[in-house]
Amino acid sequence: MAEFDTIRTAAGARAVQIDEGLRAHMNKVYGTMSVGMLITALAAWAIAGLATTTDASVAAAQLGNGTMLTQLGAALYLSPLRWVVMLLPLAFIFFGWGALMRRAPAAGVQLGFFVFAMAIGLSLSSIFIVFTSFSIAQTFIVTAIAFAGLSLWGYTTKKDISGWGSFLIMGVIGLIVAMVVNIFLQSPAMMFAISAIGLLIFAALTAFHTQEIKNTYIAHASHGDQEWMDKAAYDGALSLYISFLNMFQFLLMFMGQQE
């Protein structure tokens, strides 16, 4: 009986240790993601400021809404460089992040995430030119509330949603193809459909990734590999960051008021 009590006490202590470790792990995931979002917002705002001017004598170009661009703005938004700015973050996700996770130390992975967040800020800087600051802030708040609810559900639900993964990834690939096609078609109806479907896909991915991060930690908590756990936290932060960012962009298509 004493032996049984000892085993039960040890098991209970182990469960408490895992719970505490999981909370710390999730705090690190959300904290890293939040810093990444802050870097993105500041980079986008700063670059938009450098790309525009109110002085007609130094303006290099002008957009359709009357916004005057500096030479930097003309290069970023009107020259072929805009394709590099747009596609570079996507190339990093598909070809660079996996290599970074395999070969770099945890500190290098963290730095890579923050550099990626800055690159996203560069590619998103045009929203401060196209949309009003109020509508951007309003959309961000709505996105944050929706994200928090979806992530909380993914963390607390007893339902196994791991089976969603393959379907959602297929949906993301289809979404990317549709967006590339619409670059040439410029169809408002297709853009509306892409935004609606994309919003649903990344809302589901928010819950899916949250549960995946939780389950991954629980499955590997007993290994004691802190380096791996740190990398896993940054990987989870990237997954949730991408979901949040895409939800924000698609919601902006519905809620954003143009300048």
Residues 216-235: what's their mean pLDDT? 86
Q: What is the pLDDT of residues 62-89, one digit of tens each?
A: 887 788 999 999 999 999 998 898 888 8
Q: What does the pLDDT read at residue 10?
A: 42
Residue 18: pLDDT band (50, 70, 90) is: low
Domain limits, the chain? 2-255
| pTM attached to this predicted model | 0.90
pLDDT at 134 over 80: yes
Q: Does residue 9 carry a pLDDT above 70?
A: no
Full 3-state SS string of the chain: CHHHHHHHHHHHHHHHHHHHHHHHHHHHHHHHHHHHHHHHHHHHHHHHHHHEECCCCCCCEECCCCCEECHHHHHHHCCCHHHHHHHHHHHHHHHHHHHHHHHCCHHHHHHHHHHHHHHHHHHHCCHHHHECHHHHHHHHHHHHHHHHHHHHHHHHCCCCCCCHHHHHHHHHHHHHHHHHHHHHHCCHHHHHHHHHHHHHHHHHHHHHHHHHHHHHHHHHHHHCCHHHHHHHHHHHHHHHHHHHHHHHHHHHHHHCCEC
pLDDT in tens, 184-208: 888 999 999 999 999 999 999 999 9
pLDDT tens-place string over residues 249-258: 999 999 888 8
Looking at residue 186, its pLDDT comes to: 87
Top-confidence range, 14-18, 146-150, 183-187, 227-231: 146-150
pLDDT score for 220:
81
pLDDT, position 17: 60
